Amino acid sequence: MKKIFQNEVAVIDAGEINSALLNTDRQYFQGNLQKDQLISHIHTLDNEIGISDYKEYAHDDPHYHDEITETNYVISGKVCMRILDTNTDYIIEAGGVFSIPPGVKHVLKVKPDTRIIFFKSKSVNDKHTLDFDSLGLEEWFKDEEF
């Protein structure tokens, strides 16, 4: 049963998480969530923790944050992160961590079967999405060999 934990010990069952990830590619474990989701979560303003599960080759929307630092741990699979202002690519494989400070415009493309745990330093909605097409990222995304 889905529950919102606040100021109490919280346990989110692996079965609940895995079941939810069959129907969606992202769930939050902790944060000040504004949208309903499939699993229980810990309510807090301090930070956000969640999981992204990519079953197919995909990309996230290009974006940046005003206030938060976004840190990601790649559990499985492989990620290519591009810093948009410099067109610098970083390849991160399973077991690797990458952290993006506030204001840094970035985009990710991920191999199939990639799973990432993400941590955000505050639980605020400060995400600014950028238009993928206007940034000329089509060729970058087509290159699946990274």
Question: Tens of pLDDT along 12-34?
Answer: 999 999 999 999 999 999 999 98
Task: Report residue 91's pLDDT band, with 50, 70 and 90 as the boundaries.
Answer: very high
pLDDT of residue 87: 96
pLDDT at 6: 87
> How far apart, in whole angstroms, are the C-alpha atoms of residue 53 and residue 51?
7
Residue 134 is classified by DSSP as G
Find the Cα–Cα–Cα–Cα dihedral 69, 78, 76, 126, rounded to 10°. Answer: 20
pTM of the model: 0.92
Could you tell me the CA-to-CA distances from 102 to 26, 65, 109, 114 in Å, in that order?
A: 21, 5, 20, 24
Q: Which domains does the chain have, with CATH numbers?
A: 4-142 (2.60.120.10)
Q: What is the pLDDT of residues 52-66, one digit of tens each?
A: 999 999 999 999 999
